[in-house]
Structures are given as C-alpha cells and as structure tokens.
Structure 1
Amino acid sequence: MTLLALDDVTKIYAGTPALERAHLHVAAGSVHALMGENGAGKSTLIKILAGLERPDSMSIRLEAEPVKLESPADAYALGFRFIHQELNVVPELGVAENIALGYPFPRRFGFALDWRRLHRLARQALDGLGVDHIRPETPMAQLSTGDQMLVRIAAALYGTSKAPARLYVMDEPTAALSGAESEKLFAAIARLQDSGASVLYVSHRIEEVMRICDQVTVLRDGSHVMTGPVEQTSRDQIIAAMTGREVTNAWPPRTRPCGPEGFVQCTNLTSRELSGISFSMARGEIVGVTGLAGMGQGALLQALLGAAPLRNGSLVLNGRPCPIRNPARAWDSAIAYIPGERRLQGLMPRRDIAENITLPHLPRLGRLPGLVSRKRQEALAADLGRQVRLKSTGPCQPADQLSGGNQQKILFARAIGGNPELLLLDEPTRGVDVGARFDIYSLIRSMSDKGTCTLLASSDLPELLGMCDRIMILHRGTLVRIMEAQGLDAAGLLALIYQTAREGEKDARAS
C-alpha cells in the first residue's frame, strides 16, 4: 500500500527549474531512500513536503486520498516529521525541554511547569525509540552528537496523540555521527518501521542505503531518474543514476608504493585530551583514525596542527623537527589541515572563491609587502581550482553559492597550493554527494602518490577501508591499536572498535 504519492512536482526559481515533473511514491511501513547529487532537487522536495515552499505544480495523495499541503501546519497535521542534519538543539537546556520544544509544556494549576510530567513524557518518547541510556534531565551539552540526534528523533515522537506521525523525513542524519552512533540511529529507524511508520531517508552514503532501505529513488537535475527495490539495485546502478556516468572504481587504486618508513614520526603526544600517542608513517602513506565518537580523533589532528596546546611530545617531518606551536607555524612546516566543519572552520562563505583559495598564499601574490595583486590571486585560484575539478562560474563567485562538494574542493585547492608533506583530514566527505566524493578520493590518492602523508579521521568505515593503508583506533585519547586495512571489512572494523572500547573501560575500572 502506498502511503505518500507525489506526482508532477515542479518548482522554478528565477527561470531555473529546481524540480521538473518529479515524482516520489513511499510505501506504508517502508524505509525509502532519496538520493542525488547536490543540486539534484532533494532539498527543494523536502521543503515542499514540510510546507516551507509552494510548488508551481504538484499532485499529492496520502493513502490514495488527495490532501492539502500549503504550510508547516498542514505538514504536521498530515503526520510528517522532519529530522535535519543540523541538530537545532538548545545545549543549555535539558533533554526533556529540547524534546518538548514547539509544544505546550505541561502545567500544574494552570501556570506552574509540571517537571515530573514533562520528564515522564520525554521518557516515553525516548522509550519509543528503545533509548534507555539518555536521562530526560541531562543537559544537552553533555550528550554526544549521536545522542543529540536520537533526542531530535524522540522530539518527533513527542506529542503525536493529536496528529500521529506517519512519515519521518531524515535529511543526512548520520553526517556527523560515528559508526557506533549510526548503529543506534539504525536501531531507532527499525523501531519506527516496526510501529508502522514510514521513513524517507535522504543520504549520500550508498552503503547505508543498501543496508537499511527497502526502496530507493534517485533525482538528477531536478528530474526523477529511477525508483526500485534496493535488493534488486546495485551500487553501481545508483551511482550511474546519480551522476549520469559509470563509476568503475569507488576507491582510486594506489599507483606507486609508499616510500621510506619514518617520514613522519610522532612521539609521546600528550595534551588535555591525548595520552602519550606515538606512531610513524611512511612517505605517501594514508593512515585512518577512528574510534567511538569523542575518543581523541579530532584532538589528534588539532594537536598536530598546533591548534591545541601539547603538554609533551614531538613531531619530526621528513627528518626535520617541527615545533608544534600554532597553525601558522604548521603551514610553514608543510602541514595542511581540512576541518570537519568547513563553513565554520574552513571557509569565508560570503567571500569569493579566489579569496578563499589563496588565503594562506597572499604573501607571494604581491610585488610589495602588504599589497596583493588581484590578477595574480584570480590566476592562482583558477589554476588550483582546475587541479581539484572545482565547478563554478569563476574565481569571483561567492563560496556560499557552491554545493557542499565544491566548497570542500576549495579547501583542497588551498591545501595543495602549499605542497604539503603532511595532510590532516577531518571527515573530508561529510555532506558531500557521490560525484564530488569520488573527485575528493582521487585528490587524496593523487597527493599520496606524490609523497604526501595523510591522516584521515573519519566515521565512514567503508571510506577508511577503501582509502587507507593502515587504521588506528583511539580510546579516551590513547592509541590502542593500529593495523593494516587490507583484509578488513566494515563489520570487522566496527567489532574491533567496540572491542577496543570494552577493553579500555575494563582497564580503566581495574586501575
């Protein structure tokens, strides 16, 4: 039985169609994937479903009956609930208050806030997802990103007695989650499906779609390209539908072996979040960094960048000591960093491409100190942009007009301009569509083949397995295991992460 039927959906912005006669049919009780590259029309379709945008034309039926959808109130009354990758939480408030935001808080005697009932209702919402490790009174700021996502899903369950939830729309819900946190989310989705609800799952991660979804719909350039059962659809078919071209190898192969051992030597790195981490890397080696969320992955990259003070430890790069003091010194030492939050930490969104790419290269762009040649700036940006296959109207286009994948390419263009010997990557493909993702993988591999060492911190386990030579697992700021990636699969790596966590907690209790 079809729960939701959208047909002939068209939306035009300033003469440019964002959606053109697109359609989407979601079966009752199913998990339905919606996929497409950035700019394919997914976000516009979600906004229409949420009542935030009015289409130029559309036919919508719910359980075969025509319905009205012209406002967020209509969407709520129809039973549509939305969970976005931007968590939109209030960290200063507790879990219960965040769950109940947007609903009337329960009162005693008509005016006093009934905390006991509020916590009880929040507990019921959490229990509906099978989440028993989060307490309603806990401040949101104390929760991991994954647990905050579970709270947002619980908020969609809260107060559904007047308008029962029929369809949960999840937009890139695992973009900021670790592998272990994603498992909790998948369990919650299974609970929702068991309750009879449907889930529209928007994601760039094909492995997730193949694992948890029943059907998949692909949009390209605003038009419907394909819909089919996941079990009868191959990964390559989805990629071809999204990009319009065949992708023969998701993971660019290494074209030359790693160079001499000891090109990078880190010894006893110790900080507030790290405890005596030591490792070495061969020239051109790609080493993955993983573990449960918040176990020191980001802290390790920040320490090597000089953005977090070290209490002890040393870095030797290509035979020369590199004092780790600040990011500027790291850049001068041929260390480049691409942050996990590109808009907050990497880009100047309202400045143009040329300014963003050339930011650390300004001293060499002028004939006189303090003066920058705009002509040279644009020429360098155009050259580096071509090397990373940046899609734009030119160096003068503002960065915030680009897709997430092309914004990420700006950061790679900036990095390769410095010819780095050590590249630090924090979630380099987060929120990036599949086409741009392959371009980024090719860039990483190309830099590796030229001798750049890469530390790749990622919660995407297939990404680690496909790109890395070795993978290290951190627990509570300690390097507990480092191993060859060859021969591992995602399930085995996840099991090792959990095993490492259990052993670490056992050792901590024993001490």
Structure 2
Amino acid sequence: MRHLLLTGVAKAYGPTLALRGVSLALRGGEVHALMGENGAGKSTLIRVLAGLERADAGEVVLDGAPLRLTGPEVATAAGFRFLHQEMQVVPGLSVAENMHLAHRIPQRWGLVDWGRMRAAAAAALAELGIAEIDPRATMADLGPGDRMLARIAATLIADGGPEPWLYVLDEPTAALSHAEAERLFAVIGRLVGRGAAVLYVSHRMDEVMRLADRVTVLRDGVTASVLDRAAMDRDRIIRDMTGRAVDALFPPRAARVGRVLLEADGLAGGSLALRAGEVVGLAGLAGAGRNALLKTLIGALPRAGKVRLDGVEVPPGPTAAWAAGIAYVPRDRRSEGVMLGQGLGRSVSLPHLGWLARAGILRHRAEARLVADSGAAVRLKAEGPGQAVAELSGGNQQKVLFARALAGKPRVLLLDEPTRGVDVGAKADIYALVRRMAEGGAAVAVASSDLAELIGLCDRIVLVRDGRPGRDLAAEGLSEAALLAAIYDGEAA
C-alpha cells in the first residue's frame, strides 16, 4: 500500500506559529481522522499538503522518497485530491460536464463527443457504486451530497493523468442530510477498499468514531496525540483537543420554567408556545421545515397566523421582530449571517442600527461599546471590531452571530443549527451561553439535525413535519434511538 509521512512540519505567519513540528502518517486502505479545535493548525497543514503554502521546516516522504510540495501541481501529480464542503461547481452545466472540468474533453472531428463524455462520467460513478446520479442531469438539480459524490467520482475519470490515491475531505458532511451523509460514507468505504487513503477532517465525533482507523489530534499547532482504533475514546479525544477534561458538554437543565413568552399560530396548521427559561428543540427529517418555521417566527417568511410576545402581536417583518426582542441566528452564517469582507463590528450591530442612531446619525461610540460588550459575553476571540469576519475561525464567526443576537438583550432567541461546523470547545461555549440566556428568563428555540445536541441541550423537543409543529417530548432521559423513532413515526403518520 502507498504511504505518506510528514514529520516536523512547521509554519509561521509573522510572530504567529501555526504549526510547530507536526507529524502525520497516512496509509492506503485506511481512514485517518484529523481533529482539533479551530485554530489548532488543521487548515494550515492541509494547505501545506496541497502545495498552497510552503512549510518553513519539516520533511515530506511519499512511498519512501522525499517529496517537495512546491505547488498545487506537485500535489496533484502525487495523487492528492482535496474536496471541501463548499465546492466550486458550475450549476448550469450537466453533471458530466462538471465532472470533466479538470480533465481532457473527449472530442470527435474537433467537436465535443457528448456520448463519450457521458459514458466516461457514468463509468466513473458506477465504479463507486453511485447509481442515483444521472450524468445528463443539471448540476443545479443535485443536492449538496450528490454534488460531492460527483466530484469524488470525477477523480476516477481516466485521461492519462496521475491516478488519485489520497483524498482529503474537509468537513464533508456539514451541509448534508442524514441520507446524503450515508451515501458519502458508503463511497468512502469503496475508496478505502480500492486502496486509497482518506484524510477525514471533521468536528463530528460520532462520524470520526464510526469511520476512522486512526486519528491525529492537533492542539495549538502541535501533535497532541495519535490514536489507533483500539485506543480511540471520545473523552480522550476531547481532552487532547482542548487540553482539559470535559466532564459535561451540556450544562444542567433549568430548575423550573416560567410563563409563556411567545405564542405563534397558523404555522402550516400548527402552533408553538415558548416559555421563559425554557430551551425547546425542533426536530425532524431533512426538509421537514425546521428552518422555515424559525424564519416565519422572525418574519423572514410570510405567515398565515399571528406571533404574540407577552400577549402583544408582533408586526410582520424581521425589523419589527428584532425591535420587539426576538433575535435569530441563521443556519448558514456565510450566506445569511455575517458580512465576510467587512469588520466584525458591523455584522454585530447591523440589526440594532435603528436605536444606535440619533437623528439619523450613527453613534459610533455606542456601537463600539455594544460590540465590545456583546463580544466579551460570548468569549469572541478577535483582534478588534475592525477585523474582517473572513479572517476569523468558523467558531468565532458563529460567535459573531451570537454576539449580534445578544446585543439587543432579546427575550426570545431562535437558533438554526447553532453549532454547525464548530469544534467541541466552541460548542461547549455556545451551550453554556444558551443556558445562561434561558436562566436569565429568555425563551430559546433550537432547530438542529444533531440528535445528541437536542437531547443534551433542550428541556423538551417538538417534532416538526412539513413546517408544522407537532407532538413534543421531554428531553431528559430520551435516547437518540427513541427520538429518531419518534421522528420517523411522525413522518409515517
């Protein structure tokens, strides 16, 4: 089997040491997980492996011979392939055309040979057992999971180029449904069965425990541990990632719940009530309408019924909802939440500019104080309010959204996939923050596809189907299997 060894890899950006002597061993026929908190050095190590960054020190050995990763073309020639959760595709082109973007286009008499192109795409998909994707379909019609599978299969198209053997998958399931993730896991198994190595980068502990043959944990730019399957333990990995024992990821539940704060009816024929001091989970299959339900409550989608806060009807529209004391953290922070190219301070203050201004003029000192106070409340790590959001880690980008939500001292907090794409340390901070809000008298609704998160964080869980809130379950003592069974029972009903 082929093998790759990185030893003593170091990389500095000015005074910041991103990597300090990291080692990593990858072997064909196995899945190797790479874990660590945001800022631990995972992304820098991948960029070095891809030839996008030159290491300041260290050695790379491929199949016993030294390898100088001087550029992306060297990594490609060595058989390395990199697939990210946010992949570049051309939505208007067919699957077959997208699969050939990095390959020679089959031609006949100087024209595109569409038959051979589709046949090559179909053969590559079939090689990985992918039968549900039609090469003639438009890429825009595919879900994110099938787009990723098509991209993986594209690497198998034979055109005389180097044969891939190492696949680096960076947070591949962050935007996938359960069914899409299962299809990806099946394809990973087939790749490994062919002798490929898979470097799997994820914050999702259950996936790592399920897939990985070995795991390397980075902390503060160094290798904290390397564990084989026999030694892999969830608590040990978390301790190695964070440098501290994590006895309880989820804070204690509320001692008691207060009066109803928010009432909403006309929600696809259902209704929802949120009480002071309560954290309510929204559970359902992919496409069940959890996201749409929260958007309806915040006023981003039209509603048929009424939303009342403390008995007073909230006018339609997000501006009125924010002004009334309802805050919202969206699911996709990059497209719906933050402004990546601007200073983080503006992303925090955006919904609050109405009361931060006087006579139409923004009070900059008041804005700065608001950003500083709310940033400190969520333990935001940044150089200052002028630092671009794009420069922050995923966990700190998420904390920008929480700082924005908390800045207005909301009475109701609506959270859509609040820990998507963040590490275990940032998750613990977010869970503690949610509980503090509830203890302070706020009502919190959490839509999440993470069943363990719903059970551990929430007081009760409402089942959602077709955007309609249905029966609810007490979270305490509930198992993931029982919750999943209830979700499927609701769908069957």
1:395 maps to 2:398: no
Q: How far apart are the structure 2 equivalents of 1:429 and 1:104? A: 41
Please give the per-residue CA displacement for 1:256-283, whole angstroms capped at 9, x wherever unaligned.
Answer: 22223x43322222xxxxx323232333
Q: How far apart are the structure 2 equivalents of 1:495 and 1:194? A: 32
Partner of 1:266: 264
Please give the per-residue CA displacement for 1:285-337, whole angstroms capped at 9, x wherever unaligned.
Answer: 22222333333222112111211223x222222222223x2110111221111
Partner of 1:147: 146
Please point out which of 332, 335, 344 is paired with 1:344. 335
CA contact (8 A) 2:459 2:474 kept: yes
Match of 1:472, SS state, is: strand
Partner of 1:309: 302
Amino acid at match of 1:319: G
Q: How far apart are the structure 1 equivalents of 2:159 and 2:77? A: 10
Amino acid at match of 1:391: K
1:351–1:163 CA distance, 2 compared to 1 (3 A): closer
Amino acid at match of 2:263: Q
Residue 392 of structure 1 deviates from its aligned partner by 2.1
Amino acid at match of 1:175: A
1:104–1:436 CA distance, 2 compared to 1 (3 A): same
Q: How far apart are the structure 1 equivalents of 2:123 and 2:474? A: 44
- TM-score using structure 2 length: 0.93
Match of 2:362, SS state, is: coil
1:398–1:51 CA distance, 2 compared to 1 (3 A): closer
1:97 maps to 2:88: no
1:278 maps to 2:271: yes
Partner of 2:412: 422
CA contact (8 A) 1:424 1:456 kept: yes
Gaps of 5+ in 1: 270-274, 505-511
Please point out which of 373, 377, 389 is paired with 2:367. 377
Partner of 2:215: 216
Please point out which of 325, 333, 338 is paired with 1:334. 325
Written as runs of structure 1 = structure 2, the 5 A alignment for 1:386-465 is 386-465=376-455
1:279–1:233 CA distance, 2 compared to 1 (3 A): same
Residue 499 of structure 1 deviates from its aligned partner by 5.3
Q: How far apart are the structure 2 equivalents of 1:472 and 1:142? A: 31
Q: How many residues align?
A: 493
Please give the per-residue CA displacement for 1:90-116, whole angstroms capped at 9, x wherever unaligned.
Answer: 11112222222211122223x222222
CA contact (8 A) 2:254 2:278 kept: no
1:247 maps to 2:234: no
Amino acid at match of 2:312: R
CA contact (8 A) 1:84 1:172 kept: yes
Identity %: 49
1:220–1:397 CA distance, 2 compared to 1 (3 A): same
CA contact (8 A) 1:180 1:292 kept: no
Residue 209 of structure 1 deviates from its aligned partner by 0.9
1:278–1:131 CA distance, 2 compared to 1 (3 A): farther
Q: Superposition RMSD on alpha carbons, in Å?
A: 2.2
Residue 138 of structure 1 deviates from its aligned partner by 1.6
1:138–1:292 CA distance, 2 compared to 1 (3 A): farther
- Pick which of 287-296 and 53-62 moved more: 287-296
Please give the per-residue CA displacement for 1:314-370, whole angstroms capped at 9, x wherever unaligned.
Answer: 2222222223x211011122111111222322222333333332223334445x422
Amino acid at match of 1:427: E
Match of 1:440, SS state, is: helix
- Pick which of 249-258 and 468-477 moved more: 468-477
Partner of 1:10: 10
Match of 2:306, SS state, is: strand
CA contact (8 A) 1:179 1:494 kept: no
Partner of 2:61: 61
Residue 411 of structure 1 deviates from its aligned partner by 1.4
CA contact (8 A) 1:2 1:64 kept: no
CA contact (8 A) 1:277 1:479 kept: yes
1:106 maps to 2:96: no
- TM-score using structure 1 length: 0.90
Please give the per-residue CA displacement for 1:352-389, whole angstroms capped at 9, x wherever unaligned.
Answer: 333332223334445x4222332222222211111111
Partner of 1:362: 353
Amino acid at match of 1:450: G
1:22–1:327 CA distance, 2 compared to 1 (3 A): same
Partner of 2:282: 289
Q: How far apart are the structure 1 equivalents of 2:294 and 2:218? A: 36
Partner of 2:71: 71
1:476–1:115 CA distance, 2 compared to 1 (3 A): farther
Gaps of 5+ in 2: none
1:480–1:129 CA distance, 2 compared to 1 (3 A): farther
Partner of 1:46: 46
Amino acid at match of 1:32: H
Q: How far apart are the structure 2 equivalents of 1:8 and 1:225? A: 13
1:466 maps to 2:459: no
